[in-house]
Amino acid sequence: MNNKIKIAVFASGSGSNFQSIVDSGHSAYEVVLLVCDRPQAKAIDRAKKAGIDSFVFQPKQYPNKQVFEREIVQHLKEKQVGFIALAGYMRLIGPTLLTEYEGKIINIHPSLLPAFPGKDAVGQALAKQVKVTGVTVHFIDEGMDTGPIIAQEPIYVHNKDTKETLQQKIHQIEHQLYPEVIQDLCLTIGKETIKK
Ligand code: GRF
């Protein structure tokens, strides 16, 4: 019996986190769909190579967020997706998706939230000359990086760190942490499903 939770990963760019979620070898979930809002994103090639279907769309071709999110929901339902991991998806999630997947959407952010929400968190941390930054996994709500925190890991910033070196250290942590958190949450969802 296949009782893995089917998950979708949303990405807009390189998709290195998408890759680590796919490659992790964790057994409680299976990535069945990549949702991507940028047709040139490298994440799409990664999905192809991994044999995972993608739904790629261009937000500008829709009258508003509600309309494209309804289409996303259709694709998610077709694939029986029970859980969503945002991984470098550069958009706020709207009420259509939030209502449909309440408590089942998480995000990874490259700072110790609530410090440095929004874009370029690594650049923001360097500009403030913080000595410690890190990675946060959190639930999604209607705000910008504001939902309840699930896991965090700190990273020391050294004087010689550049945006590239710090980004590299952050990715290293992310690629380990994010699949672990997804695994744990999917195990919990699995148990709840059995109880019902
Ligand atoms: C990651 O650093 C993640 O924390 C942030 O966007 C970046 C995405 O990187 N939300 P990638 O596309 O997974 O390589």
For 93-119, write each residue's pLDDT tens digit: 999 999 999 999 999 999 999 999 999
Q: Residue 51 corresponds to which tokens in the numbers above? A: 């044999």
75, 109, 158, 175: the catalytic one is 109
| Closest approach atom of ligand 1 to CA 42 | 12
For ligand 1, atom 10, which residue shows the shortest CA distance? 88
At residue 196, the pLDDT reads 61
For 7-34, write each residue's pLDDT tens digit: 999 999 999 999 999 999 999 999 999 9
Characterise 15 by phi-psi region: left (phi > 0), alpha (psi -120 to 50), beta (else): left
- Confirm whether 109 is a catalytic residue: yes
Question: Which residue among 9, 16, 17 is best mutated to probe the pocket of ligand 1, counting the most ligand atoms within 8 A of its Cβ?
Answer: 17
- Report how far residue 151's alpha carbon sits from residue 102's, in angstroms, rounded to the nearest whole number: 19
Alpha carbon distance, N-terminus to C-terminus of the chain: 18
**CA separation (Å) from 155 to 89, 159, 188?**
23, 13, 28
- Report how far residue 119's alpha carbon sits from residue 5's, in angstroms, rounded to the nearest whole number: 30
Q: Is the beta carbon of 179 within 6 A of some atom in ligand 1? A: no
For 45-74, write each residue's pLDDT tens digit: 999 999 999 999 999 999 999 999 999 999
Q: What is the pTM of this model?
A: 0.96
Q: Is the beta carbon of 167 within 6 A of some atom in ligand 1? A: no
| Closest approach atom of ligand 1 to CA 11 | 12
Report the side by side order of strands in the sheet with 149-156.
53-56, 29-36, 5-11, 83-86, 105-109, 132-139, 149-156
Q: Residue 73 corresponds to which tokens in the numbers above? A: 């929901």
Q: In this structure, what DSSP letter does residue 115 have?
A: S
